[in-house]
Amino acid sequence: MLIGSNGEKQGLVAFSVALESARVASLDLVQVSPSDAILLFVSF
């Protein structure tokens, strides 16, 4: 599950798509839980 920078759920996406989306938005991609496929866009 990919969660956008505003908390909106963007659904299941391939890791490569999530990583590219984060790069384009100049955000970091964080895995919330190693046992779950939950990724979150954040700005550090």
Instruction: Report pLDDT for 23.
Output: 92
Instruction: Report pLDDT for 24.
Output: 92
Cα–Cα distance measured from residue 44 to residue 6, given in angstroms and rounded to the nearest whole number: 15
Q: Which helix (H) or strand (E) holds 22?
A: helix 15-24
pLDDT in tens, 3-43: 888 889 989 888 889 899 999 999 988 888 777 777 677 87
pLDDT in tens, 3-14: 888 889 989 888
The angle formed by the CA atoms of residues 36, 41 and 17, to the nearest 5 degrees, is 75
Instruction: Report pLDDT for 26.
Output: 92
**Cβ neighbours of residue 11 closer than 8 Å, sequence gap 6 or more:** 1, 2
Domains of the chain: total: 1
Structural domain range at position 24: 2-42
Amino acid identity of residue 15, one-letter, is F
Instruction: Report pLDDT for 40.
Output: 75
